[in-house]
């Protein structure tokens, strides 16, 4: 059989000890340990020692795309993930429905409005301003993406979502180019028109009557410019597919030209259907050399400071997902994109354990798989940029350097 491989990224997998053990250490994970015994481990810094990676840059780096060269900003990745087809030069933002009272933001999430409400309000935001087309798409709850399409735009403007409540500030150009000036003007004009549109929309009139926070403004952050870049199969000489629930991860995959496989029940949340993802990966291996499976909930539990929830979720992955992946016969890489510490509720720069299992490969025969056992792993210390070369070597698809 041709060698195939699964890259399983458990988001925010690495952690710090809580009562003496990290969630990964504490988790009962017999199926992962079977792979560990036959595989090789290492500790990885995705970007560099101690560097705290974002989820966007870390995934790009692991998949072989140096962020310094290829990171387009968060906005374009989210827009692609939301299913918007971007064209070169598009400026994209993450956008929130929020509540504004006078000139003060009083709720950055407009009371976490339902998907259906956000969807119904979409039409108030899609418009043309001067020669710029504004494309808005609601994604999850109060979240969405905005794309500005037109000539002479720049992503170098200040966000209107400042990640905190209080006085609303207009966007300002961050350099003196006419492009930045124009784009800030478009965003500010859009904000003004959208506010008027939203406040007169029946949904908000009803919410006002019910004393619910109004979804009466759109605030933006994460601006970035989309450009076409070299595709994953051209860069690596293998064809890859992505199985993910979270918008960002689908966006990263689409950005690098990787096929995204939609899986019923793969939500990117704590209730995601792990078995469905496993079966989808199994099926994908019939067609693809490389299947990237992303699981978000490990990171979400960390952000909530819920070490027990994280541990239990890892146990669920071990029970429901790993056996399906193992049965495929493919090589398996299990790692995270970064460490997210439950005790800190945020991303950290601590190293992440990585496990590489291939049936006829080398083994360091470790009995554990966690942040501590991986310190004794046969790989020693690796960087995120090493992952794809390791994978290509396993697949026998690495180009020889020299002759």
| Residues 223, 187: Cα–Cα separation, whole Å | 11
CB of 130 to its own copies, least distance (A): 29
Q: List alpha helices for 296-358, DSSP H.
A: 297-303, 307-316, 322-327
| Residues 397, 324: Cα–Cα separation, whole Å | 25
Best CA proximity match to 281, nearest among 64, 1, 4: 4
| Residues lying near its own copies in the complex (CB under 8 A) | 16-17, 22, 40, 43, 47-58, 67, 71, 74, 222, 343-344, 346-350, 360-364, 371-372, 375-383, 386, 388-393, 396, 398-403
> Residue 70 or residue 185: which is nearer to its own copies going by CB?
70
> Residue 32 or residue 47: which is nearer to its own copies going by CB?
47
Best CA proximity match to 291, nearest among 80, 63, 78: 63
**Token digits for 153?**
């735009």
Stated as kind and residue range, the H or E segment containing 58 is helix 55-62
CB of 212 to its own copies, least distance (A): 30
CB of 56 to its own copies, least distance (A): 5
> Residue 86 or residue 388: which is nearer to its own copies going by CB?
388
SS3 285: coil
Q: List alpha helices for 73-177, DSSP H.
A: 74-81, 115-121
> Residue 229 or residue 383: which is nearer to its own copies going by CB?
383
CB of 103 to its own copies, least distance (A): 26
SS3 166: strand
Q: Determine phi and psi for 104, rounding to 5 degrees.
A: -115, 130
> Residue 323 or residue 361: which is nearer to its own copies going by CB?
361
> Residue 287 or residue 362: which is nearer to its own copies going by CB?
362
| Residues 368, 272: Cα–Cα separation, whole Å | 26
> Residue 129 or residue 398: which is nearer to its own copies going by CB?
398
CB of 127 to its own copies, least distance (A): 27
CB of 38 to its own copies, least distance (A): 10
| Residues 152, 132: Cα–Cα separation, whole Å | 9
> Residue 101 or residue 346: which is nearer to its own copies going by CB?
346
**Token digits for 219?**
């605030």
CB of 386 to its own copies, least distance (A): 4
CB of 339 to its own copies, least distance (A): 9
- Torsion of Cα atoms, 240 then 230 then 348 then 323, to 10°: 0
Question: Which position has the token pair 């495929």?
Answer: 328
């Amino acid at each position: 059989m041709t060698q195939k491989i699964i890259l399983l990224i458990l988001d925010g997998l690495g952690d710090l000890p809580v009562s003496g053990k990290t969630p990964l250490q504490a988790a009962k994970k017999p199926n992962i340990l079977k792979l560990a015994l036959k595989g090789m481990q290492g500790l990885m810094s995705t970007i560099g020692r101690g560097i705290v990676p974002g989820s966007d840059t870390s995934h790009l780096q692991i998949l072989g795309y140096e962020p310094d060269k290829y990171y387009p900003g968060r906005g374009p990745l989210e827009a692609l993930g939301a299913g918007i087809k971007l064209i070169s030069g598009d400026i994209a933002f993450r956008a929130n429905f929020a509540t504004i009272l006078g000139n003060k933001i009083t709720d950055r999430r407009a009371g976490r409005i339902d998907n259906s409400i956000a969807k119904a309000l979409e039409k108030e935001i899609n418009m043309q301003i001067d020669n710029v087309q504004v494309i808005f798409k609601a994604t999850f709850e109060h979240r969405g993406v905005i794309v500005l399409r037109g000539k002479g735009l720049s992503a170098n403007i200040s966000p209107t979502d400042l990640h905190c409540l209080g006085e609303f500030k207009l966007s300002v150009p961050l350099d003196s180019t006419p492009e930045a000036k124009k784009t800030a003007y478009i965003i500010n004009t859009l904000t003004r028109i959208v506010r008027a549109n939203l406040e007169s929309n029946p949904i908000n009139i009803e919410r006002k009557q019910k004393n619910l926070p109004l979804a009466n403004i759109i605030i933006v952050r994460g601006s970035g410019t989309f450009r076409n870049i070299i595709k994953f199969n051209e860069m690596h000489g293998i064809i890859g597919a992505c199985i993910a629930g979270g918008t960002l991860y689908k966006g990263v995959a689409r950005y690098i030209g990787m096929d995204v496989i939609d899986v019923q029940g793969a939500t990117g949340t704590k209730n995601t259907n792990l078995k469905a993802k496993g079966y989808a990966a199994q099926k994908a291996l019939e067609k693809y050399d490389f299947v990237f499976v992303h699981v978000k909930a490990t990171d979400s539990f960390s952000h909530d400071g819920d070490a027990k929830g994280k541990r239990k979720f890892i146990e669920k992955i071990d029970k429901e997902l790993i056996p399906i992946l193992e049965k495929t016969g493919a090589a398996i890489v299990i790692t995270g994109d970064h460490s997210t510490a439950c005790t800190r509720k945020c991303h950290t720069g601590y190293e992440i354990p990585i496990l590489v299992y291939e049936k006829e490969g080398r083994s360091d025969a470790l009995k554990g798989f966690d942040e501590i056992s991986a310190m004794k792993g046969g790989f020693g210390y690796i960087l995120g940029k090493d992952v794809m070369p390791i994978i290509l070597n396993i697949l026998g698809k690495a180009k020889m350097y020299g002759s």
